[in-house]
A and B are shown apart, each in its own frame.
Chain A
Amino acid sequence: MKVPRISPVFVLLVFFAFPALVHATRIGDVTDLDWSEQTFRFLSLRDAAVRNAVLGSVFMGISCGLFGGYVVARRLALFGDTLSHAVLPGVALGFLWSRTKDPVAIFVGATVAGLLGTVVVAWIRKTTRVKEDSALGLVLSGFYAVGICILTVIQEMEFGNQSGIDKFLFGQAAALSSADVGLMGAVAMGALMMVTLLNKELLVTSFDEGFAGSVGVPVEFMRYVLLVGLTFAVVSSLQAVGVVLVSALLITPAATAYLLTDRMGTLLLLSALFGIAGGLLGSYGSFLGNNLPTGPFMVLACTSFFVVAFFGGPKHGLISKWLRRRNRVRQVSFENTMKAAYQVLESGDFSKESVTVGALADRRRTSVAEARREADDLVKAGFASMVCSDNAGSLYSQDARLSLTPAGWERACQIVRNHRLWELYLTNEACYAADHVHEDAEKIEHVLGEKVVRHLERILKDPRRDPHGSAIPSLEDIERGAGLSTNPSSATGYFRQN
């Protein structure tokens, strides 16, 4: 089986699709500088604020992307959402306690609140009949409401105005201090270390907890590691992306990666990359827009990645799925037309070399125009050619004649052979009645592979006739047809001997 790979072209496309979108968000903003100058300022990393924002975005992308990978693979998305909202009262209390935007106080407060939230969820689930999803919803909204209340109180206090506490709601990457960035870096490093050192333990617990326990992996401990790590990732990213949308940074990059790969390692890598890219584009967009809140921009960027992957992903993408299905439909239509041509030739005992479009239309039970279109498609694909005749001038003439090329003849023989072998197999081996097998064979004939056909031949002992008495085209017939092309004047080429 082919392991799906992400084509670099695709990744590049995703990256280049963006500037246009980000510019669009700028329209209507009042800025003194034009956007190219702003872009230069951003890319040159001259301002300390920009440097902090860029570094912070990278760290946030790494920690949220990596933990998000596990969140999505383990179906903990709702849990991540709850955790990210439950930290708000902790943020507010940490602020109230330190009376400034002290990163350590806020970090401690938020972590405690987040963990408390998860404990409450587990407790509700264990002691009542309320199910987990409701418990999560309860804690999410309850904790969040408490947080908003305390925030409102803070903003009415004398130190509340210039506090910058509102940045925690929607995020402001440019307001990150060096201490904040240091903290984010530490969490990102921790996440990287955890993923490398505990790679196989995390994989087996995520996939099959029971089995993980049976091979001696400390399942409970791994769960706490993941929970605490997740809390740290959320809390450290709060300032950059904001409480309201931080869960999107956990879910969206990882969900995008999940669309593109079937392996956990690749998923984590891609998820981190998408997180970083989304973070950078988000802070860039916010910078262009004169420091608008960063969170929505980041989430918008990540969501756009998802949309692109959703439609354009090489394996699970909607467009590639659609293309694959269209190809299949086209191929089946080709094969059916060639089969019809074969059957028309057969009905004339292979005395002629070509078939009229009218006869094809009769056989396919379609209009002459439709049959003509199908014939033209065959000609375009190189499976047939039109034979010049007196009436061929008219485009829709039913007397226009079609002749199969060697490739077309070979495929036609194969399809008819597949069809009749399958019918015979169903009647002889699966005990179907002879009048029940045609429908099934109509579908199966297009999907039988070389290997299965050989197997059928062995089982059926190289048969000559199908259940309805028609001859099954043999391998020699296929060869003879192909050989015929070098000598088109020989009208007996298609003729079968027995």
Chain B
Amino acid sequence: MVDIPPPLEIHDLTVSYDRKPVLYGVDIVVETGSLVGVVGPNGAGKSTLIKTIMGIVRPNGGWVKIFGQPYRKAVTRVGYVPQRESVDWDFPVSVMDVVLMGRYGHAGLMRRVSKRDRLIASECLEKVNMQPFAARQIGNLSGGQQQRVFLARALAQESDLYLMDEPFAGVDAATETAIVELLRDLKERGKTLIVVHHDLSSAREYFDKLLLLNMRLVAYGEMEETFTPDLLQKTYGGRLTILSDVAGQAAGRSEFEQEGDPKL
């Protein structure tokens, strides 16, 4: 039997912003068909983890493999939902334009999007109940609707691994339910999902697995093994102050040895 590489494998990943470490020696292997919630306090490096996996942020050490390959080679197999605040919603594009961006990876450089791409984008809009808004400028939408547009764009990517950065932030109850259903549906179809989440209380019912993060990987595993007072205390109760301080000092001393600034 051939060994199928896991959707995501992270080995000894270290990332720092402006010489301050954010992630420190993280190792994770995520299995196919997992629905993983990433939780941790503010500044725990949740978004950084996602961005590093996507290759948006360059790590200072360690490596990431997507289906056994570096990210560049697996572009079409990864779908991404960035944080809603990361873009300018006054930008002159329509809902349809944004969802079509999900097809760009498949269309290839300098090629136009095909009729089939438009059809897929249209179907994805339908799935999140946003078809009637297809021609609308994206600024004229509510927060929940904007989040649905981002989800539709990720769906249009037709990927096997989905990375979502706070898709539940600032959305209405109806959208929240719709997103949960969508996540379940994708999981049923054998997709792997890694979702950054800010609300610990709902994390338990939304996800199957939990990734507890606070600069270090605190724990990763099934919900019943990880959603324990002990581990949660370890994640949220007090930052790893000594590690953070010492690491900061160490980084400060060797600032000229550091290669590149991961910030773009």
Give me the interface of A with B, judged by CB distance under 8 Å.
1, 3, 73, 75, 126, 197-201, 203-204, 206-219, 258, 261-264, 266-267
8 nearest interchain CB pairs?
A215-B105, A262-B137, A216-B75, A214-B80, A1-B136, A208-B87, A214-B54, A215-B104
Quote the shortest CB–CB distance from A403 to chain B (angstroms): 42
Residue of B nearest to A207 (CB): B91
Would you call B97 an interface residue if the criterion is a C-beta within 8 Å of the partner chain's C-beta atoms? yes
Q: Which of A1, A207, A218, A262 contacts B101 (CB 8 A)?
A: A207
> Do B97 and A214 touch (CB < 8 A)?
no
Q: How far is the CB of A71 from chain B (nearest CB, A)?
A: 13
Inter-subunit contact A1/B135 (CB<8 Å): yes
Pick from A200, A214, A216, A217: contact of B113, CB below 8 A.
A200
Interface residues as binary, B153-184 with A (CB distance below 8 Å gives 1, 0 otherwise): 10001000000000000000000000000000
Interface assignment of B110: CB less than 8 Å from any CB of chain A: yes
A200 — nearest CB in chain B belongs to which residue?
B104
Q: Determine the distance from Cα of A213 to Cα of B55 in the docked complex, in whole angstroms.
A: 8
Question: B109: which A residues are within 8 A, CB to CB?
Answer: 201, 216-218
> With a CB–CB cut-off of 8 A, which chain A residues contact B110?
197-198, 201
Whether the Cβ atoms of B54 and A213 lie closer than 8 Å is: yes
List the A side residues contacting B135 at CB < 8 Å: 1, 3
- Please name 5 pairs of A and B residues whose Cβ atoms are closer than 8 Å in the assembled complex, sorted by A: A3-B94, A200-B107, A200-B113, A203-B101, A215-B102
Interface members, chain B 81-117 (any A CB < 8 Å): 82, 86-88, 91-94, 97-98, 100-102, 104-105, 107, 109-110, 112-113
With A210-B54, A213-B56, A263-B94: A126-B261 Cβ-Cβ less than 8 Å:
yes
Is the pair B75, A215 in contact by a Cβ cutoff of 8 Å?
A: yes
A267 x B92 contact (CB < 8 A)? yes
Evaluate whether A208 and B86 lie within 8 angstroms (CB atoms) in the complex, with A1-B136, A214-B56 already known.
yes
Say how far B254's CB is from chain A's closest CB, in angstroms. Answer: 17
Q: Is B51 an interface residue (CB 8 A)?
A: yes
Interface string of B18-57 (1 = CB under 8 A from A): 0000000000000000000000000000000001001110
The minimal Cβ–Cβ distance linking B7 to chain A, given in whole angstroms, is: 15
On B, residues with C-beta under 8 Å from A are 51, 54-56, 72, 75-76, 78, 80, 82, 86-88, 91-94, 97-98, 100-102, 104-105, 107, 109-110, 112-113, 133, 135-137, 140, 153, 157, 261, 264
Interface centre among A204, A264, A266 (most CB of B within 10 A): A204
Q: Which residues of A contact B97 (CB under 8 A)?
A: 203, 263-264
List the B residue with the shortest CB-CB distance to A209: B264
- C-alpha gap A200/B105 in the complex (Å): 11
* Shortest Cβ distance from residue B121 to the other chain A in the assembled complex, whole angstroms: 13
With A and B bound together, what is the CA distance between A3 and B153 in angstroms? 21
The listed residue (B75, B92, B94) touching A258 by CB distance below 8 A is B92
Residues A207 and B54 in contact, CB atoms below 8 Å apart: no
Q: Would A207 and B93 count as touching, CB distance under 8 A?
A: yes
- Closest-CB distance, B70 to chain A (whole angstroms): 12
Chain A residue numbers with a CB within 8 Å of B102 are 215
CA–CA, A267 and B93, complex, Å: 10
Cα distance A219–B98 in the bound complex, in angstroms: 17
Residue of A nearest to B261 (CB): A126
Verify A214–B112 contact, CB threshold 8 A.
Answer: no
- Kindly list chain A residues whose C-beta atoms are within 8 Å of the C-beta of B140: 1
Chain A nearest CB, measured from B209 CB (Å): 23
B86: chain A residues within 8 A (beta carbon):
208, 210
Known interface pairs A200-B104, A204-B104, A211-B80; 14 further A-B residue pairs with C-beta atoms within 8 A, sorted by A's residue number: A73-B91, A200-B100, A200-B112, A200-B113, A203-B97, A208-B101, A210-B86, A212-B101, A214-B80, A216-B109, A262-B94, A263-B92, A263-B97, A266-B92
Given A210-B54, A210-B86, A213-B55: A203 and B105 within 8 A (CB)?
no
CA distance A261 to B137 in the complex (A): 10
Which B residue's beta carbon lies closest to that of A127?
A: B261
B-chain residues with CB within 8 Å of residue A263 when the two chains form the complex: 92-94, 97, 137
User: Are B92 and A73 interface neighbours, CB within 8 A?
Assistant: yes
Q: A203-B97, A207-B87, A210-B51 are in contact. Are A217 and B92 (CB under 8 A)?
A: no
On chain A, the residues within 8 Å of B264 by CB distance are 209, 219
A266 to B92, CA, bound (A): 9
Across-interface contacts of A209 in B (CB, < 8 A): 264
Given contacts A75-B88, A200-B104, A203-B101, contact A210 B94 (CB under 8 A): no
Q: How far is the CA of A246 from the CA of B10 in the complex (A)?
A: 50
Q: Residue on A with the closest CB to B103? A: A215
The docked-state distance in angstroms from the alpha carbon of A91 to that of B88 is 36
Beta-carbon nearest neighbor of B94 in chain A: A263
Among residues of B, the one whose C-beta sits closest to the C-beta of A266 is B92
On chain B, the residues within 8 Å of A207 by CB distance are: 87-88, 91, 93, 98, 101
State how many angstroms separate the Cβ of A208 from the closest Cβ of chain B.
5
Q: In the complex, are the beta carbons of B91 and A206 less than 8 A apart?
A: yes
- Docked CA distance A315–B51 (Å): 38
Q: Which residue of A lies closest to B18 (CB)?
A: A126
- Contact call B56/A1, Cβ cutoff below 8 A: no
Complex formed: what's the CA distance from A266 to B51 in Å? 33
Contact A214:B75 (CB < 8 A) given known A1-B133, A207-B101? yes
Q: Which residue of B lies closest to A218 (CB)?
A: B109
Shortest CB distance B6–A (Å): 19
Give the Cβ gap from B143 to chain A, nearest Cβ, in Å: 17
Knowing A204-B104, A210-B51 are in contact, say whether A215-B157 is a contact too (CB < 8 A): yes
Contacts of A212 in B (CB 8 A): 101, 104
Distance in angstroms from B78 CB to nearest chain A CB is: 7
Question: Chain A residues with Cβ under 8 A from B80's Cβ?
Answer: 210-211, 214-215
A203 to B96, CA, bound (A): 13
Complex interface: chain B residues within 8 A of A1 (CB) = 133, 135-136, 140
The complex places the Cα of A267 from the Cα of B80 at a distance, in Å, of: 28
Q: Output the nearest chain A residue to B137 by Cβ-Cβ distance.
A: A262
Chain B residues, CB < 8 A from A266? 92
B residues within 8 A CB of A264? 91-93, 97
Cα(A3)–Cα(B94), bound, Å: 9
| Residue among B82, B92, B112, B261 having the largest count of chain A Cβ atoms under 10 Å | B92
Closest to A197 in B: B110
Question: Measured between C-beta atoms, what is the minimum distance from A210 to chain B in Å?
Answer: 5
- Whole-angstrom distance between the alpha carbons of A65 and B98 in the complex? 23
> Across the interface, which residues of B come within 8 angstroms of A210, CB to CB?
51, 54, 56, 80, 82, 86
Q: Which of B88, B101, B136, B137 contacts A215 (CB 8 A)?
A: B101
Q: Which residues of A contact B157 (CB under 8 A)?
A: 215
Minimum CB distance partner of A216 in chain B:
B75
- What separation, in Å, do the CA atoms of A216 and B72 have in the docked complex? 7
CA–CA, A197 to B82, complex, Å? 26
Docked complex Cα distance between A213 and B72 (Å):
9
Q: In the bound complex, how far is the Cα of B261 from the Cα of A428, in angstroms?
A: 59
A35 to B193, CA, bound (A): 71
* Most B-side CB within 10 Å, residue of A197, A198, A214, A217: A214
Docked CA distance A279–B97 (Å): 32
